[in-house]
Amino acid sequence: MTHASDTPAQRPDIFDRMRAGEQYRAEDPEIEARQRAARRLAARWATAYHEDPDTARPLLAELLGSLGEDAEVRPPLHLDYGSHLRIGPRTFVNYGLTALDVADITIGADCQFGPHVQLLTPTHPLEPEPRREKWESARPITIGDNVWLGGGVLVLPGVTIGENSVVGAGSVVTKDIPSNTVAVGNPARVVRTL
């Protein structure tokens, strides 16, 4: 936790701590400034994408932690920082991805995302007082290679979805999904092995 007596020189990087799962307050000025910068860059990319997706690609690469070769993302893209989001090669992300990348979000190669998928790394305390005080934390999300997330899938903090898996449209993924399976529902449960 950050203490009021910490000076910037003494204070460990807040983003490293957030990515490590430590508690933070979202109204921290550093956090707000980085989020505003990411939103501006995402808006510039979206505008450029509508003119020419190929010439817009360098803006997207600048926004994200990494963007694999031949990966395609369609706007709008809603994210916190962008720099904690990595998208593997040949992955296709349809319109309206929300990737709240307080902790790392890693998307493998050859994945397919339907429209309006949500990848949410932040979480809030269950206890009322810390929640009232606006404390938050985050846990990473990992999507393996060749995963298909149907439209409207919601993936919660700390979840790993194994390679070659399929998650049905509208599912809410609350726990890890093994490789080579099909999962559906709220909460998502495995209904088939591939």
CA-to-CA separations, 102 to 46, 49, 92, 184, 185, in angstroms, rounded? 21, 25, 22, 26, 26
11 forms beta bridges with none
Helix (H, G, I), strand (E, B) or coil at 125: coil
Token pair 């088939």 is found at 192
As a whole number of angstroms, the distance between CA 17 and CA 13 comes to: 6
Q: Tell me if residue 116 is catalytic.
A: no
CB 64 within 8 A of CB 84: no
Question: What is the chain's Cα-based Rg?
Answer: 17
Amino acid type, 68: G
Catalytic residue (one of 3, 84, 116, 124): 124
Residue among 108, 61, 60, 65 at smallest CA distance from 84: 65
Residue 59, CB half-sphere, CA atoms under 13 Å: how many? 23
As annotated, the active-site residues are 124
